[in-house]
A and B are shown apart, each in its own frame.
Chain A
Amino acid sequence: MNRLTAFLAGLLFGIGLLLAGMADPAKVLAFLDLAGNWDPSLALVMGGGIVAALLPFTLARRRTRSLTGCPMQLPSKREPDRALVIGSLLFGIGWGIAGICPGPAVVVLGSGHLAILPFFVAMLAGMGLFRWYESRRG
Chain B
Amino acid sequence: MIIDWAHFTPWSALAGGILLGLATGLFVLANGRIAGISGLLGSLLNPKASGRLDSLLFILGLLLAPWLWLAFAELPVIEMQVGVPGLLLAGLLVGFGARLGAGCTSGHGICGLSRLSPRSLVATLCFMATGFATVFVVRHLLGAGA
Contact = CB atoms under 8 A, between A and B. Distances in A.
Contacts of A73: 32-34, 50-51
Given A53-B25, A53-B110, A123-B92, A19 B19 contact: yes
A2 B56 CA distance: 12
Interface string B15-47: 111111111111111111111011001100110
B28 to A, nearest CB: 4
B20 A49 contact: yes
A100 B79 CA distance: 11
Q: Which of A33, A59, A65, A125 has the most CB of B within 10 A?
A: A33
A56 B65 contact: no
Contacts of A55: 25
Contacts of A123: 41, 91-92, 94-95
Given A24-B76, A73-B33, A53 B90 contact: no
Nearest to A20: B16
Contacts of A93: 93, 97, 130-131, 134
B27 A92 contact: no
Nearest to A68: B30
Interface residues of B, number: 115
A130 B102 contact: no
A41 B13 contact: yes
A61 B25 CA distance: 12
Nearest to A26: B81
Contacts of B31: 2, 5-6, 9, 66, 68, 70
Interface in A50-86: 50-61, 63, 65-68, 70-75, 77-80, 83-86
B8 A41 contact: yes
A91 B117 contact: no
Interface string A89-109: 111111111111111011111
Contact of B17 (A16, A59, A111, A124): A16
B79 to A, nearest CB: 6
Nearest to A56: B25
Contacts of B99: 87, 126-127, 130-131
Which 8 pairs of residues, A with B, have the shortest CB-CB distance?
A14-B65, A10-B61, A126-B95, A20-B16, A52-B21, A87-B101, A48-B17, A96-B134
18 contacts: A15-B69, A20-B16, A39-B8, A49-B20, A53-B28, A56-B29, A66-B31, A72-B28, A78-B117, A86-B100, A87-B100, A93-B97, A95-B105, A97-B134, A100-B94, A110-B63, A110-B65, A126-B93
